[in-house]
Structure 1
Amino acid sequence: MARTAEKLDEKIRARNIRIILDVATDVFSRKGFDGTRIAEIAELAELPKANIYYYFSSKEEIYSAIIARLISGWDDALANIRADREPAEAFRDYIRAKLDYTARHPRESRLFASEIIQGARFLSLKDRRHMQKATDERAAVIEGWIAQGRMAAVDPRHLFIMLWAATQFYSDFEPLACDALNRKKLTAKDFDAAAETIVRTILGGIILPPPSR
């Protein structure tokens, strides 16, 4: 009975945290950090305000948890860049995974963009170091491919900046993307077309043709 109750408590906790973060993401993305109130998050989550503070000590902690969740999603996409893979396949999968994530989580993407534009006030030093370390590790993989003659000699960090910009644009600046594509709203087909275009463009510039015999 005790184990059953414990599992039920864990399930309720996980559900409530998910609800709080989902609601908070929506409010933060619309109103920004300063314009968001715990009371509003509680009301929209249909939870007592005390419950919010039971799971999170402050508005800053909720905000940081949302950013951490986003970074974790990006890490999953970045995991495609591995030394044991063929560069073309690795970049293709990374680009598609990144676009898929931003298509499924546009609010988180816009929230992060807003956070950076406002000076990264709440992006913790731990998160920044984590992102730098992840970039360093994947840049080393690309440098290895270049040294092996498996791809063109490009600056790995500038390449990542280019890929981040291309994949994030569709959510961060959706109205502009819609205008460019003559759409009222982006669809799954638009994201598929974006992935194919980015993949072809990037691979055409960095993957070397096979040596002639």
Structure 2
Amino acid sequence: MSRIRARNEEKIIRAASRVFAEHGYAATKTADIAELAQLPKPNIYYYFGSKENLYRAVLESVTEPLLAASEPFEQHADPVIALTAYIRTKLMISRDYPYASKVFASEIMHGAPRLPEDIIARLSEQTRTLSDKLSQWMGQGLMEQLEPRHLLFAIWASTQTYADFNWQITMALGKEELDDTDYDQAAEVITRLVIEGCRVRPLSSL
């Protein structure tokens, strides 16, 4: 892929993420996306073919990082290290893909009518893998026994809220946008809630 094509596709996806997030799929016009991306409208169809394909590209722009976020579980046998890295990674996705995250959340809240089956399958498999790893740590006595999927739901909710409810958070903090300190503080709070609340112990404690 040429650098020009890659740059234009990225511009279109970022613009589309914002327009889809603000107006929803049905009300979004490709002309509005082209205007925000500062590209001719025919470029939208040249690069993506249709609004539906572009919508999928927006979903993939955030689901791919979400899927990659589970890497700490694969790389670290120590639950303290893995959960700490996982929580921070999830927060960074909310920071870096705020509009695409809102599009993904809206899609889920409406029953995922346009979420491709292959993405659903990959997300479902990821949930099973993460749940199994949490259950393994529980079996080793490295954390309290609890339903692992509900722990994942709690982590997802507390990290993705920084994108999906950004307006509420910035309003409550009295600022126009969040900075790195805010995300560092969020990571510290959420991590402590999970580590201390679930009595997660390092692998060296065995």
**Normalised TM-score (structure 2):** 0.90
> 1:183 & 1:45 partners in 2: Cα distance?
27
Q: Which runs of 5+ in 2 are unaligned?
A: none
Match in the other structure for 1:168 = 160
Identity of aligned residues (%): 38
Runs of 4+ in structure 1 over 4 Å off:
208-212
Match in the other structure for 2:192 = 200
Deviation readout 1:104-156 (Å, 9 max, x if unpaired): 22111112112222332211121111100011111111111111222221211
Q: Which residue of 64, 68, 86 corresponds with 1:76?
A: 68
Q: Letter of the aligned partner of 1:191 in structure 2?
A: Y
Match in the other structure for 1:59 = 51
What displacement does 1:181 show? 3.3
Q: 1:19 to 1:208 in 2, by over 3 A?
A: closer
Q: Letter of the aligned partner of 1:115 in structure 2?
A: E
Q: Which residue of 73, 90, 94 corresponds with 1:102?
A: 94
Structure ID, larger Rg: 1
Q: Which runs of 5+ in 1 are unaligned?
A: 1-8
What is the alpha-carbon root mean square deviation over aligned residues? 2.1
> 1:208 & 1:53 partners in 2: Cα distance?
50
Q: Letter of the aligned partner of 1:38 in structure 2?
A: T
Q: Does the residue aligned with 2:73 lie in a helix, a strand or coil?
A: coil
Match in the other structure for 2:36 = 44
> 1:182 & 1:161 partners in 2: Cα distance?
28
Question: Counterparts of 1:114-125 in structure 2 under 5 Å?
Answer: 114-125=106-117
Q: 1:105 to 1:10 in 2, by over 3 A?
A: same
Q: Which residue of 121, 136, 143 corresponds with 1:144?
A: 136
Work out the number of aligned pairs and report it.
Answer: 204
Is the Cα contact below 8 Å between 1:23 and 1:44 reproduced in 2? Answer: yes
